[in-house]
Structure 1
Amino acid sequence: MTRVLESQMPILIVLLVLGTVAKVSTVRSGGEPGALSRLGPAVLVPGRMQAPALLVCAAGEMVLAAGLLLSTHAIFRWGTVTFFALSTYVLLELRRRRPDAGCGCFGEVSSAPVGLRSIGRTVLLTGMAVLSVWAPVTGWDAVTRPSWLMIAGVIALLALSPEIEELIDRVRYRAPCEQRRAPAESVTLARLKESGTWRAHRDELTAADPYDSWRELCWRFFVFRNHEQDDVVFAVYLSGRRPGVRMAVVSAEDSGSLPEYTTVSA
């Protein structure tokens, strides 16, 4: 039974350390202006607090990793459970309030919109942390005794990690998503029509083809009309095999032409 309880501790320790390093690297590199505003948990705080928020999160992860590695104290075990449970809640909030934002779990590599895989990963990690609470050994002892259960946990996490696809794309293209050549518009439209979001709303549309389309950063936008003559805007993320799809309805009253302004000489 001890081998079962301790089997997932090495995974938790490694992921906490990787999360720490990635967040610190993201803050130190700076990146493009506004990059942190697209990463959770920085998304949820004011602009000037975004970098400190990521650093505080990174520091917490490092403390938990060190505690799991060197101690059997319950505060580190339950602290890890709490951390991943709160992470699940934050990702659900991000998906609801800022569907364009990435989870930021591993810094700017986790810039893809929060999806079910990212949420499923934090749920799985929460379960792993709960399992590890009653392990009678330190994380160091568990690291020196790997098991098949640990390998199974690694495989499950890899399957739930959209960052793998992003890393593969970066190796292939050596440029961030917004600077890469986008797939053909027809390819992105086909991906949209394969999505559950499209199937949920296609009957509301007057036509199957968009009347407008454009690219902005790592998103392709398609605009359709519904039966009330409102604009239905779909946004398709341009990276990954299963790209995120978001939808918004802009009423006809809100989409009128911009007001004209009189030029004023300086």
Structure 2
Amino acid sequence: MTHVWESQLPLLVVLLVLGTMAKVITVRSGGEPGALSRLGPAVLVPGRLRVPALLVCAAGELVLAAGLLATGHAIFRWATVAFFAMSTYVLLELRRRRPDAGCGCFGEVSSAPVGVRSIGRTVVLTGMAGMSVLAPVPGWVAVLHPSWLTAAGVALLLVLSPETAELIERARFRAPCEQRRGPSESATLARLRSSGAWRAHREGLTSLEPYDSWRELCWRFFAFQNHDHDDVVFAVYLSGRRPAVRMAVVGSEGSESLTEYTPVSA
């Protein structure tokens, strides 16, 4: 059973190092204006603390990776379990409080809205970290002797990682989602109509055709009216095979705020 407990140590080390590097690169590159306001955990803290929060997270990941790699001390193993368990909680909070924000797990590459896959990945990583607690060898030994269980873990994490699709898109187009042309408005509307959010709210709409549509960054917005004369606004993310769909109802007294958005073509 020894090889089972240590099989996921290489994955944990590599992911923690990649997370550190990606966050540091995101901070150093600057990215788009306001980019950090769309990434967790930075999005959960005041603006002036966003860069320090991201760097503290990166430093913590680096310490954990070094501890897992160089030693077999239980403190690093349990700290890694706690880190990924806390990450799961943070992602759940992000999904509840800021459904438009990305997890920031790998810097600005993780800008897609937090979904079930991102949360599932942190749950799996928490389990992997829990397995590593029982490993009798330091991480460097496991790195030198990977097993088929390590490969299985890689495959599972690839399936659960929304960044995979984003990296493929960037390799094809060499530009972040915000700067790409994106799917047509009709294609995005079709995506909306196949979503659960649409099915849950379409009966309350006065018309199945939007009266307004516009794009902001990597989102396409569609505005409808319901029978109470409120504005029902759907937002469709413009990247990924199964894009996120969000919905908000704007009361009639606040509907004028919709005119502040400038429609742009997809």
Answer yes or no: same fold by TM over 0.5: yes
CA apart distance, 1:202: 1.6
Q: TM-score, normalised by structure 1?
A: 0.95
Post-superposition Cα deviations, 1:37-57, rounded to whole Å, max 9, x if no partner, equal 111000011111111111100
Residue in structure 1 matched with residue 81 of structure 2 by the alignment: 81
Post-superposition Cα deviations, 1:213-236, rounded to whole Å, max 9, x if no partner, equal 111111000011112111110000
* Runs of 5+ consecutive residues of structure 2 not aligned to the other structure: 259-266
Residue in structure 1 matched with residue 245 of structure 2 by the alignment: 245
Give the counterpart letter for 2:147 in structure 1: S
Counterparts of 1:79 and 1:154, CA distance in 2: 22
Partner secondary structure for residue 252 of structure 2: coil
Counterparts of 1:171 and 1:116, CA distance in 2: 24
Which structure 2 residues correspond to residues 82-231 of structure 1 after superposition, within 5 A?
82-231=82-231
CA apart distance, 1:253: 2.1
Partner secondary structure for residue 55 of structure 2: helix
Change (3 A) 1:4 1:93: same
Would you tell me which structure has more helix in proportion to its own residues? Answer: 2
CA apart distance, 1:256: 4.2
The yes-or-no answer on 1:234 pairing with 2:241 is: no
Counterparts of 1:201 and 1:4, CA distance in 2: 47
Give the counterpart letter for 1:3 in structure 2: H
Counterparts of 2:154 and 2:227, CA distance in 1: 48
Identity %: 78
Counterparts of 1:40 and 1:254, CA distance in 2: 28
Post-superposition Cα deviations, 1:16-70, rounded to whole Å, max 9, x if no partner, equal 0000000000001111221111110000111111111111000000000000011
Counterparts of 2:28 and 2:248, CA distance in 1: 35
Aligned length: 258
Give the counterpart letter for 1:165 in structure 2: A
The yes-or-no answer on 1:254 pairing with 2:243 is: no
Structure label with greater radius of gyration:
1
Q: TM-score, normalised by structure 2?
A: 0.95
Counterparts of 2:238 and 2:8, CA distance in 1: 34
Partner secondary structure for residue 23 of structure 1: helix
User: Post-superposition, which runs of at least 4 consecutive aligned residues in structure 1 deviate over 2 A?
Assistant: none
CA apart distance, 1:257: 7.5
